[in-house]
Copies of this chain bind each other. A is one copy, B any other.
């Protein structure tokens, strides 16, 4: 417990915050794509109304965001029709889903209850680097081989 030690250099610290800001910009895209994939898997299609209900936002907000995701090449949709993932969207969804499950299962393994793990994973997952995710996987494997 040595505390934080000396301050980082300004530029270094600015890079850290910059990365976090950048992560924020991708979070919404990741959440939508993940949710669209889940809905398609569970119900055969993803409707804007379902997304709105599950995200807890208005359908107008969903329309806005879906337009941006179309622009980003992650999603396809024709007026008044349901929403599909492009190949890029499907790839992203797969990555996001795997990461989500790893974070959630990791939290459970260290003693967090299942519901809290699900909740916290939703916020944490977007900020977990490749290295940290690998550390999570190692812990998961260890717990499996032990228990």
Residues of A within 8 A of B (CB): 1, 3-4, 6-8, 10-11, 13-21, 23-24, 31, 38-39, 42, 50, 53-57, 97, 100-101, 105, 107, 110-113, 116-120, 122-124, 126-129, 131-132, 135-136, 138-139
Contacts and interface: CB of A to CB of B under 8 A. Distances in A.
A141 B132 CA distance: 20
A1 B31 CA distance: 21
A38 B4 contact: yes
Contacts of A53: 10-11, 14
B129 A116 contact: yes
A135 B123 contact: no
A7 B38 contact: yes
A8 B104 CA distance: 14
A3 B10 CA distance: 42
Given A14-B53, A42-B7, A54-B17, A119 B129 contact: yes
